[in-house]
Structure 1
């Protein structure tokens, strides 16, 4: 039997393997909620009005038959039961993905070991990270509410585990890594290397994972971004070339419009907002928007549907890769941490603290 964690008191004993089905069901139900969140949150749509789920096309309220995770989408063959308009398969994918991830976390921390507190913290964080992946990939934004969500999860977990320094150093490490990359990109290359949402995201992820795993998650995100990003650019380039062969004049005008870019952020603004995020004033700004005016900024607004900004083929959001790296570190925290500590000990003769 694997040993109980030396520093985390637990309240869930090691469970039989079949209980991962419970984890899958919890994840699928969470995924169903996340589908509503992914659609409503970045568009500023209330979570309580309407208090029931509706079809975004015909606005008809959905009953229980339409809300059973995975099976509802399959039973209607991916169409609304009322207006028969196709429903994006993303809804089913989110439910399956969350089910699989929660089942894996359940197995890792409730079956293979006795780390129930960590499991629940990681489940909450993973759900938020799945929402980040789909929102940022589609809309190129990460809502402040999601970024702020990680901080209380990390604080509660590390309070329970009596490891508050890990919470503080992890949050600082996540902020410092991404803000540092943004600063170097702006000063050395004259480009915006990281978005502000990425800085706030990794501050929250670090608050949960701690400094060591946060660094590993950023490295994993960089490698994933390089591989997947290059592949996507290649695919889009091939697609653009085919379209150009069919309608050269129209495509030329479209490409010229797509390549329009905004001027890079000033170094002063990056430093100012970096300190703002380090002090977590953006979290206060969710409840008291006027706090942004303390640094000469206007409160951030929700994403507007009529926004006509169109990204170029090389504009790839990094948030999804950061989220994937963080999820990977939650799933494989023990071997990743052990590998880093072993490498560090062999290289320097010292232990990682």
Structure 2
């Protein structure tokens, strides 16, 4: 038990540190900036942030969310993403480590590969979902720079398990979800085709695009990681939570609820960089910088059905819920009998 607690704390710290890096990815990749250099700096005065002011979670709290030099406010989202990533890392480590540690009283006998490898893959998937969700919230795009590598790693994971852990790995109760290579491959195709079908049905019925190509690749990535039995839960959970999110956003005028005509105005698909450049030009023309703290009000005169919000964050949320809570769900929801 003592070893489990120590390693849980370590997982939390590692998660918070990686969460800090995810903040960099979320901000810089859509802007076409390097994630390596320059070092983090205040967006207002551009003073490089000192190492002791860049400690995940704690530095934001100690500095009250402000720059030490100019006093400019930092968004609380930075600390929240670090905390979210840290909590997810700790929970996933507990799920992977606790059952294995319970079987061995001598720490030297613990087969660490049964803990570290599943944890590493699960945490990589969670990090991808976090980045995709927040980029989609900010820019209404899901870049292939994230989903395509995610698909490859997701499809490779069962093969790595087979090679390193043995072909019986999926029989271990803590290995959730037990997606074999075939289940993963079917999930990859089924996830993408599901969203494509909905895309064309909505386009035929309404004459507008209800989803973007990024949602297709995201659902394919999710299917590759979690297997095809997960897709029913993920789609309906994402849809239900999106409806709730749309209602809350419309009620409180949150700025991630936008005019659907604005989001889906272009007939020709734009590349990720082009979309970002177009958004930057629009923001500059309208006088809306990233540092503007006032939220754009949603026009109440827009008729029902003409508003749009990104669906990607809700797919990501549902996938995380299935990944973490799946072992505790009823069989009818987890579809465990199909694995």
Structure 2 length as normaliser, TM-score?
Answer: 0.75
Q: Distance in 2 between matches of 1:311 and 1:200?
A: 31
Partner of 1:32: 20
Question: Which residue, out of 323, 326, 336, partners 1:330?
Answer: 323
Taking a change above 3 Å as real, the CA distance of residues 337 and 102 of structure 1, as seen in their structure-2 partners, is farther
Shift of 1:301: 2.0
Shift of 1:172: 0.7
Shift of 1:231: 2.2
Taking a change above 3 Å as real, the CA distance of residues 161 and 209 of structure 1, as seen in their structure-2 partners, is same
Partner of 2:220: 203
1:307 aligns with 2:286: no
Shift of 1:28: 0.5
Q: Distance in 2 between matches of 1:312 and 1:85?
A: 27
1:181 aligns with 2:181: no
Partner of 1:228: 245
Contiguous gaps of at least 5 residues in structure 1: 1-14, 240-256, 270-296, 345-350
Taking a change above 3 Å as real, the CA distance of residues 236 and 22 of structure 1, as seen in their structure-2 partners, is same
Taking a change above 3 Å as real, the CA distance of residues 298 and 184 of structure 1, as seen in their structure-2 partners, is closer
Say if 2:229 and 2:334, in contact at 8 Å, map to a contact too: no
Shift of 1:157: 1.2
Partner of 1:285: none
Q: Distance in 1 between matches of 2:160 and 2:67?
A: 44
Q: Distance in 2 between matches of 1:102 and 1:165?
A: 28
Aligned residue pairs, count? 285
Q: CA deviation digits over 1:120-140, x for unaligned, max 9? A: 111011111111222211221
Partner of 2:143: 143
Q: Secondary structure at the match of 1:332?
A: helix
1:104 aligns with 2:79: no
Structure 1 length as normaliser, TM-score?
Answer: 0.72
Superposition pairs for residues 156-305 of structure 1, below 5 Å?
156-162=156-162, 163-236=180-253, 261=262, 299-302=271-274, 303-304=276-277, 305=280
Say if 1:169 and 1:210, in contact at 8 Å, map to a contact too: yes
Taking a change above 3 Å as real, the CA distance of residues 341 and 332 of structure 1, as seen in their structure-2 partners, is closer
Partner of 1:250: none
Partner of 2:121: 121
Taking a change above 3 Å as real, the CA distance of residues 131 and 179 of structure 1, as seen in their structure-2 partners, is same
Q: Secondary structure at the match of 1:16?
A: helix
RMSD, aligned CA: 3.0
Partner of 2:290: none
Partner of 2:80: 93
Q: Distance in 2 between matches of 1:106 and 1:142?
A: 28
Q: Distance in 2 between matches of 1:263 and 1:97?
A: 31
